[in-house]
Every structure is written in C-alpha cells, then in structure tokens.
Amino acid sequence: MWTKINHCPLCHSSKIKPYKKGNLIQRGLTPEKIKITDADYGKIWDLSRCQVCGYVFANPFPGESLLASLYIQVEDPEYEAEAEGRRRNFRRLLHQIEKFVPQKGSLFDVGAATGLLLIEARQRGWKVAGIEPSRWAVKIAAEKYGLHLHLGSFEDYRHDENQYDVVTLVDILEHTPDPKKIMVKARELLKPGGIIVIVTPNIESLAARLAGCRWWHFRPGHLGYFNRRSLKTLLNLTSFQVLSWKKYSWNFSFNYLLKRLSVLSWLTKVPKLASLWPRIQIKLALGDSFEVYARKQEVI
C-alpha cells in the first residue's frame, strides 16, 4: 500500500536525498486527515528532494488505491461553509482564464469538491464538467447546485480526448504521488491549443521559509511540493507553454482564520460575536502558491 522509490517521480533522476524527517505514521492516514479544510499544519511524511529538478516528495508514499479508498469517504462541511470566499477565488481565476479563452467554451475541473468553481464558470457562460473523489462532495454538488460530477479518481477516469478548452488543477498536484500522470491525462482532455490552470504550493516561497516546519501547506494530504524549477520541468515534460505565472491569493472568512489560530480560536465561541466572524471576508496574499496558465503544445 506504501511505496519507497530511489528516483524522482517527476524527472526520474536517481539523484535524490532525504529532505525532512516526517512526524506522521502510515496507519494514521484517515479520511479526516486529508479533507480540504484539515488544519493539521506542520505534519509531514518523510520527504525526499530531487537534486536535479528540485521536486520534494513523500517517500515512501501511499498508493493510488489506498488514496482512492480514503478520498471517497471524505466529508468536509467546513469547505461548503466557506463557499463565499472560495467562489471569490474562483471568479478571479475565471477572469484570468477568459483573457486566454474569451469565447468561453468548455471547462473541466479536476478535484472539483462541491463544484464551486464550475458553478461560477457555468454562470459566466461556460460549458462545464468535473470529477471529484469524495462521495459526499458529489452529492452536495448535485443536491445543492444541480451539478452532476463524475465520482472517482482522475487517474482512473475514462474520457474522450481533445474535448475541453480549459482544464483546471486547483490545489491538486500536491495531493498525488505522480503529478506527471495527472498532467498527461489533463493534456489528453484538452483540445489543441487548450489551456491548463495550475494552483499549487511553492515550497521555496518566503512564507514557507518564514513559517518553517509550521508552514500551513505541510499537511498529511500533501504528498509533493514544487519550486519554480520543478514546476517548469513538469510543464516542459508534458509539453505545455507557460502563458502567465502569478502568486495565488486566498479569500477566507475571519471565522475560518480564527479557528486556525490557537491563541484566538476562543473568539469563535463568544455568543455575541460568533455570527459576526463568518461575514467578514479577508484576502490573504501570502504569495506561497503558484498560479500558472499554460497552453497545450503540439508534440512534433
């Protein structure tokens, strides 16, 4: 169920070295630990680093079948409670996407959760589809938003090729032991000249360096971490041309942030204030995640 390797899963170089000693145990990986709103910050698996491309990855790592069996059980009501801020994030992403695809064609979202990105896209005139491994999230998407997502892992998804103008991978690549496999599959979905959108943590960002072992992206569900060089390597290996490279910013409610600050979390339980915090939206521009737009290149 867990695999240890002696090469980089990205560029396949054998020049890898231990990077950080983990503080998690394999049998401790549960659906609760890998939900989107998990706040177990600073918890990591044993990490290795490729000396050639710079990719940092869990080693050993859980197999695809184990991950699929866990993700299908994930329930995350707190994600849906933060829908307002997350939809703001996605509206900004769609505004950028439409600079490259102004005709608003077809869009496929990988790891769509309850479908918030797709709902925003649909309202703007896009034809949308997506896949999500959580049974709970797929049910919410259908019952609350009338959005019918494919249930399952993207790695196992059977699809027609050259079907979509845009494929979005928002906070997806860090959750997989094989990001190249995800990118190859996304490429197959795209029409010639189609656009891929990637949001993923930057392990060499200033915020990551300052936070150290308490960086909020060091979490049980994250199995791989990119720097600029390794993400460029992945894009080159899968034949994508970068169009835009940005730093991602987040919108959260003040309530969400307070609950993650142990010294202030008590404020969320004050009766007269409890209803106020969820209504206050905060833009968090930490600059510790990449936001990349790239075009599918034809392989000669």
Q: What is the pLDDT of residue 285?
A: 77
User: Residue range 198-211: average pLDDT?
Assistant: 96
At 41-56, the pLDDT tens digits run 999 999 999 999 999 9
φ/ψ (deg, to 5) at 8:
-75, 130
Look at phi and psi of residue 260 and say left if phi exceeds 0, alpha if psi is from -120 to 50, else beta.
alpha
Look at phi and psi of residue 287 and say left if phi exceeds 0, alpha if psi is from -120 to 50, else beta.
left
User: Residue range 104-116: average pLDDT?
Assistant: 98
Q: Is the pLDDT of residue 270 over 80?
A: no
Distances (CA, A) of 131 to 37, 109, 137, 204, 224: 19, 7, 10, 30, 21
Distance CA(17)–CA(7), nearest Å, equals 10
User: Residue range 149-174: average pLDDT?
Assistant: 94
Pairing mode, strands 16-20 and 164-170: unpaired
Q: Is the pLDDT of residue 89 over 90?
A: yes
Confidence of residue 22 (pLDDT cuts 50, 70, 90): very high
User: Residue range 151-165: average pLDDT?
Assistant: 92
Contact 285, 249 (CB under 8 A): yes
User: Residue range 263-272: average pLDDT?
Assistant: 55
Interhelix angle 83-100/116-123, rounded to 10 degrees, is 50
Q: What is the pLDDT of residue 261?
A: 60
> What domains can you pick out in the chain, each with its CATH number?
72-249+285-296 (3.40.50.150)
Q: What is the pLDDT of residue 77?
A: 94
Q: What is the pLDDT of residue 268?
A: 57
Q: Which residues pair with 16 in a beta bridge?
A: 50
Burial 74-85 (b: 16+ CB within 10 A, else e): bebeebbebbeb
Contact 189, 167 (CB under 8 A): yes
Three-class secondary structure of residue 210 per DSSP: helix
Distance CA(233)–CA(33), nearest Å, equals 30
pTM of the model: 0.92
- What is the helix (H) or strand (E) element at residue 181, kind and residue range? helix 179-189
Q: What is the pLDDT of residue 248?
A: 93
Q: What is the pLDDT of residue 274?
A: 58
Confidence of residue 160 (pLDDT cuts 50, 70, 90): confident
Q: Is the pLDDT of residue 278 over 80?
A: no
Judged by average pLDDT, the poorest of 54-68, 125-139, 259-273 is 259-273
Distance CA(154)–CA(135), nearest Å, equals 14
Judged by average pLDDT, the poorest of 107-116, 238-247, 272-281 is 272-281
Q: Is the pLDDT of residue 300 over 80?
A: no
**What is the rounded average pLDDT for all residues in the chain?**
92
Contact 282, 254 (CB under 8 A): yes
Three-class secondary structure of residue 41 per DSSP: coil
User: Residue range 185-207: average pLDDT?
Assistant: 97
Which residues lie below 8 Å from residue 248, measured CB to CB, with a gap of 6+? 199, 289, 290, 291
